[in-house]
Chain A
Amino acid sequence: MSEPEILPPAGALDSKEAGAGAGGPKAPWKTDNEANGSQLMREIVSGNAMISVLAVLVALVIGGVLIAVTDERVVTAFGYFFSDPGATFGAIWAAISDAYGALWRGATYDPGSRTWQGRLGIFETLTFATPLILSGLAVTLAFRVGLFNIGAQGQIILGATFAGVVGFMMELPPGIHLAAVVLAGALGGALWGGIAGFLKAKTGAHEVIVTIMLNYIAISLVLYLLKNQLRDPSSSNPISPRMHESAMFPLLLGPNYRVHAGLILAVAAVFVVSWLLNRSTLGFEYRAIGANPRAARTAGMLVSRGYITVMLISGGLAGLAGVTQLAGTEKILDSDVAGSIGFDAITVALLGRSKPWGTFFAALLFGAFKAGGTSMAVNADVSIDIVAVVQSLIVLFIAAPPLVRSMFRIKEVRREGVPA
C-alpha cells in the first residue's frame, strides 16, 4: 500500500516495530498503514474549536446555496435575471431566510405555531440531543484511546433491546424498575462494544471492521427477537409491547414536551467522562495508549486491557443512548430504534474534537438540526436532506485536510523545522 521512504520519521519507526502487535500474538498485518491511520486520527481529533465553528459556518453557507438554487421562486426569477436582477436576489434572500428561519424557529422558539410543542422547539432540540450526547461520548472515548468505534449503532440497538426486555417484560417497583432498565441497557451496549475490544486486544482484529459487522448482527438479531420472543402478542408486526410506565424516564416538563430525565443522565455522563479522561489514572492510561500504544506498553501499561475496558465503557455509553431512546421517547422497541444516531455520533465526536464538553455542544447543535430540520421541511418546503448535506459537509471540512494529506501521503509542513 504505502512506500516507507516518503513516510514521516515517526511513521517509519512505527512500521519497524509493528510486528510487536497489540498485547497479543504477533500481528504481521499491522504495517505502516495502521501507523498512518493513527496519525490521521490524531490530526483529526486534535484540531482546535475554531476549525469546528468554521466548518459549521461554511457548511451552512453551502447549504444556503443549495437551498437557493433548488428553490422554485429563485428558478422562476432567474428566468428573467437580465431584465430584473433584483427579483433574483430578492428570491434568493426569501428562499434562504425562509428555510434557515424555519430551522431556527423549529429548534428554539416559534411564536406562530398553534400547538405548545411547536412553539418551544428548544425542548425538542434537547430531546434529540440526549441520545446524541451519550453516543457521541461513546465515540469520543474510544477515539482518545486510538480506536474508531463505528459500532455505536449496534451498541445502541443492543442497549435498547436489553433495556426493553427489562422494561416491558418485567414488573418491578417504580424507581427500581427504571434503574434496572438503565443498568440493563448499559450492560447490553457494553457487551456489544466489549466483543470488539476483546477481539482487538486478543487477536488484533481491526475494530472498524469488527464494529461494522457487529452493527449488521445487531440489526438482524433485534429483528429476529422482535419477530419471535419480544413481539407484541396483540400485533402481527415486528414491534415490541409498550414499556411499562415505571420503566420510563419521567418527563421533565409535563406531557406537552418530550424532554425527559434521560437528559440529566446524559449531562451526568459528560461530567463522568470528563473526569475519567482528565483526572483518573485510567484516563491517563487511555490517553497514553491513544498517543502511542508502544510507548504506553514500554511504560508498563496493559494496552490490551485498555482496549477491552475502553470498549466496554464506550459500548455502555452507547447502550445508554439506546435506553434514552426507548425509555425516553420511543416507548416501543422496533428494529429502527437506533435511527441514524450511531452514525451521527461519529460526526458529533469529530465536531466536538473528541472532548467531552465539545461533544456535548456538538450534540446540542445536531439536536437543533434535527428539531429545526423537521420544521424547515414542513414550513419552508425544503427537503430535510439539506440538513444531511450540511452535516456531511461539516465532517468533510473537519476531516478533509488531514485526510487528504494522508491519502496522498503529503508531509505536513512544520514551521518549527524538521521534526526530530
Chain B
Amino acid sequence: MKKLLLDTVKRGAIVGTVAVSALALLLTSCGEAPPAPGGGGTEKAAAADFLGCIVSDSGGFDDQSFNQSSYEGMKMAVKDLGIKMKEAQSASTADFVPNLNQMASAGCNLTVTVGFLLAEATAAAAKDNPDLHYAIIDDDTIKADNVKPVVYDTAQAAFMAGYVAASVSKTGKVGTFGGINIPTVTIFMDGFAEGVKYFNEKQGKDVKLLGWDSAKQQGSFANTFEIIQEGTKITNNLISEGADVVMPVAGPLGKGAGDAILAANKGGKDVKLVWVDSDGFLTAPTYKSILLTSVIKTMGQAVESIVKDDVDGKFDPTPYVGTLDNGGVALAPFHDLDSAVSADTKSQLEEIKAGIIDGSIKVESKSSPK
C-alpha cells in the first residue's frame, strides 16, 4: 500500500506538471518559428557515438540518494563529454532484467546499474553481452571482465562525523537511525559509532550513542525509505531521550528528521543534524541553520569518471573503492555552524583523517567493502 500511495502521489505530480507545462505553453505560444536547420557544427567525434545508460533500483532517480547522485553523474558526462544517454527507472525487482535487456537491445556501450539489488541482473546481462560494459554501484560481488564494481568505505567519513558530533554534544548523547537494516545503511552507523567511541577514548568523555549498537548490529530503523513522517517520529524519540546531534541514514526520511529538529529547536532545544550521501547544505538548504555537517559519497564524480575512462578506451574492471584517500567519501564543511566546532576539534579531525588514510586509525565495520 505504501507503494500504491507513493505512486498516487507521483501520478498527482505528473498531472500537476502537465497542467503547469500546458499553461507555460499557452503563455509562450506567440514566438517566432526558427529558421530551417542548416549544417550542423563539428561534433565531439568518439564521444558523440558513445551511449551511456543508467538503470535505477526501485528508489528512482529522484530519491535524493544514490540513484540521484549516480544519475547526475551520467548527466554531467552528457554535458561535459557530449555522449548520448538512455535511462530506465525500475519500479520493482521484476523490472531489472527487462530494463537491462532494453539497454543491451539499444546497444549501450556502458550501462550503470544502481544498487546491490541489481547485482544478479547485471551479472547476467554482462555475461550475455560480453561486448558491452557495465558498472554497478554499491556492490562488489560481480567478478567479470566487463563489469566495474563501485563501492564506498563510508565508515571512514562517518567516523569523522561521529567524532565531531560527540565533540559538539552538550547533553552527552548523540543519535542515529536508519531506513532499513542493510549494509549500505549500517556502514554509516558503524563508522559514526566508532567515531563517538574514539572521541570518548581520546578526550576521556562518556558520550552515548542512541539508535545503534555496532556489536549487535541492531538499532532504530524506520523500515522504509519512503514515509518521511517516520523520520520525524524517530527523531522526536531520539531528542526526547536526550540526543542533541542526529544522523538519519534513510534517504528522504532525512527531511523528516530535519523537520523534527527545527520544531524542537523552536521549543528551546539546541539539536543539530548530520546529513548523509550528499552535502545537505546544497541539497537540503531548508536545514542550513541546524546542519552540522554531512557524510558525502561522491557517486556523481565516480560515475562521470568511469564514463570518461570508457570513452577514452580505458575501461577496467578493478573495483573502485571510495575512501577518504581518493576523495570518494568525505566529511562536508561545517558551513553556517562553523563556529560551533572548536578549533581544537578541527585540528583533531585533520589528524584523524590523516590517521585513517595512513592506516594508523582502524575503522571497523562489518559492512565495509573487503
Contacts and interface: CB of A to CB of B under 8 A. Distances in A.
Interface of A: 66, 69-70, 74-75, 78-84, 87, 106, 110, 113-115, 117-119, 124, 128, 212, 215-216, 220, 223, 227, 235-239, 258, 325, 329-332, 334, 336-341, 343, 370-371, 374-375, 377-379, 381, 383-386, 388-389, 392
Contacts of A81: 29-30
B89 interface: yes
A332 B119 CA distance: 11
Interface stretch (B31-39, B155-163, B270-278): B31-39
B29 A336 contact: no
B262 interface: no
3 interchain residue pairs of minimum CB distance: A118-B105, A339-B92, A84-B33
Given A66-B14, A118-B101, A79 B28 contact: yes
A128 B17 CA distance: 30
B98 A124 contact: yes
B89 A377 contact: yes
B4 A343 contact: yes
A101 to B, nearest CB: 15
B154 interface: no
Contacts of B98: 124, 128, 370-371, 374
A118 to B, nearest CB: 3
* Interface of chain A: mostly helix, strand, loop or mixed: helix
B93 A334 contact: yes
Given A114-B105, A117-B105, A388-B7, A82 B95 contact: no
Given A325-B94, A374-B99, A377-B89, A340 B3 contact: yes
Contact of A332 (B120, B181, B223): B120
B88 interface: yes
B25 A75 contact: yes
Nearest to B24: A75
B104 interface: yes
Contacts of B219: none
A341 B4 CA distance: 11
Interface residues of B, number: 56
Contacts of B105: 110, 113-115, 117-119
B141 interface: yes
Contact of A87 (B15, B25, B33, B88): B33
Interface of B: 1, 3-4, 7-8, 10-11, 14-15, 17-18, 21-22, 24-25, 28-34, 53, 58, 86-89, 91-95, 97-99, 101-107, 116-117, 120, 128-129, 141, 180-183, 223, 366-367
14 contacts: A79-B31, A115-B104, A118-B101, A124-B101, A223-B223, A236-B366, A334-B117, A343-B4, A378-B88, A384-B89, A386-B14, A388-B7, A389-B14, A392-B8
Contact of A70 (B10, B17, B103, B182): B17
Contacts, number: 154
A340 B92 contact: yes
Contact of B14 (A106, A119, A331, A385): A385
A339 B95 contact: yes
Contacts of A236: 183, 366-367
Nearest to A88: B29
A215 B7 contact: no
Contacts of A84: 33
B3 A378 contact: no
Contacts of B33: 80, 83-84, 87
A383 B14 contact: yes
Nearest to A255: B128
Contacts of B7: 340, 388, 392
Contacts of A377: 87-89, 102
B223 A80 contact: no
B94 A79 contact: no
Contact of A115 (B101, B180, B366): B101
